[in-house]
Amino acid sequence: MTEVDPLAGYTVGLTAARRADELAALLVRRGAAVQHAPAIRIVPLLDDAQLRASTEQLMARPVDVVVVTTAIGFRGWIEAADGWGLGDDLIKHLGEAEVLARGPKVRGAVRAAGLSEAWAPESESNAELLEYLLERGVAGKRVAVQLHGEPLPDFVNALKDAGADVTEVSVYRWTAPADTNPLDRLLDAIVGRQVDALVFTSAPAVASTLARAKATGRREAVVSALREDILVACVGKICAGPFQPYGVPCVIPERARIGSLARALAVELPARARRIQFASTEVQMRGQAVVVDGDLRPIAPAPMAVLRALAEQPGHVVSRQRLMSVLQRDSTPVQEHAVETAIGRLRTALGQPKLVQTVVKRGYRLALEA
């Protein structure tokens, strides 16, 4: 018997635009099936007139402090400036300021550009960066804050309230996806409970998903599914922010890294699996599969729906009428033979037909004592 991958049998919805392939590979490596639907589109840096305008605005006057929050964002900013013919001038301008780097990756990017950081917090947190700046005093100083697609209103407003002149440089700006069909299909899957988890790597992706659900008349149904049945995982607290008003619970890894996000999902999702102990057999129910005594067995949607209904009260009889209602997906009536077919397929998929018993003239039950 081989060990079952932690995400085997589960389908994970992925909304990322950047590094989506990398995150998908991490999930697939752990056994998941991935449904990818970019919820946002990244505006190419060279084409981003807003980034160029904020860069030129920054270079128009001396700057006292430069706060660098992400390595990839800083590198992208310098590369874009090179493409505009402003790269050398921008580096020279930044070199005359005090450069603060959020963490070791950021520090490496700063040094690779030929600059030196004055300080970097051990915690790699924006909160410690802000505390450092406020303790030293920023009144009358011009402070540039490099953002990475996601605003930091609390950070920026605290600096402004302390008397700083703040210039925000937003790198990798997001917009709605050009093609919304994949996102619409993912929203359908969410409403139909055909995905088991939903993964987000940015707050704009969360906001865009909710906005598209509202625009298509499905926000209430989507939020209900995410509250009750589908596990939501966000890379950090800022990413999870747009869900807060809706009461959607989110799994957040200890470190805001996609590797940590994949590992957290691989722990949390199997932990939610329903386990049924028969006399000599354990059945673990996953998204579209079961694990029977350590053996993964895929199950089609109809027999899986029947199994879930039987597992609501293991050992109790579930009527044919109840199972017919479980199998009904639209207004078309479900015939009784559809239940018999689903039961037969379920028994075959489990590999142990006696786990599902027929109770004559009443219905079906799992082979447990009531």
* Predicted local confidence at residue 369, as pLDDT: 58
Give the architecture (CATH level 2) of 274-366. Answer: Orthogonal Bundle (1.10)
CATH hierarchy code of domain 11-42+177-271 = 3.40.50.10090
CB 54 within 8 A of CB 167: yes
Give the whole-angstrom CA distance, residue 19 versus residue 235.
13
Residue 139: exposure state from Cβ atoms within 10 A (0-12, 13-18, ≥19): exposed
Q: pTM to 2 decimals?
A: 0.75
CA-to-CA distance for 44 and 70, rounded, in angstroms?
Answer: 17
b/e 326-356 (16+ beta carbons within 10 angstroms → b) = bbeeeeeebeeebbeebbebbbebbeeeebb
Strand pairing class (174-175; 41-42) = antiparallel
Q: What is the pLDDT along the chain (370 residues), one digit of tens a residue?
A: 568 999 999 999 999 987 899 999 999 999 999 999 999 988 777 778 889 999 999 999 999 999 999 888 899 999 999 999 999 999 999 999 999 999 898 999 999 999 999 999 988 888 899 999 999 999 999 999 998 766 788 899 999 999 999 999 988 778 889 899 999 999 999 999 999 999 999 888 999 999 999 999 999 999 999 999 999 999 988 889 899 999 999 999 998 889 999 999 999 999 999 999 888 888 999 999 999 988 999 999 999 999 999 999 888 999 999 999 888 876 677 788 899 999 999 999 999 999 999 999 899 999 885 4
Identify the pLDDT of residue 255. 87
Distance CA 285, CA 287 (A): 7
Q: Write the burial class of residue 137 (CB in 10 Å: 0-12 exposed, 13-18 middle, 19+ buried).
A: exposed
8 and 296 Cβ atoms separated by less than 8 Å? yes
Q: What is the pLDDT of residue 351?
A: 92
Delimiting residues of CATH 3.40.50.10090 domain(s) in the chain = 11-42+177-271, 45-172
Q: Which CATH class is domain 45-172?
A: alpha beta
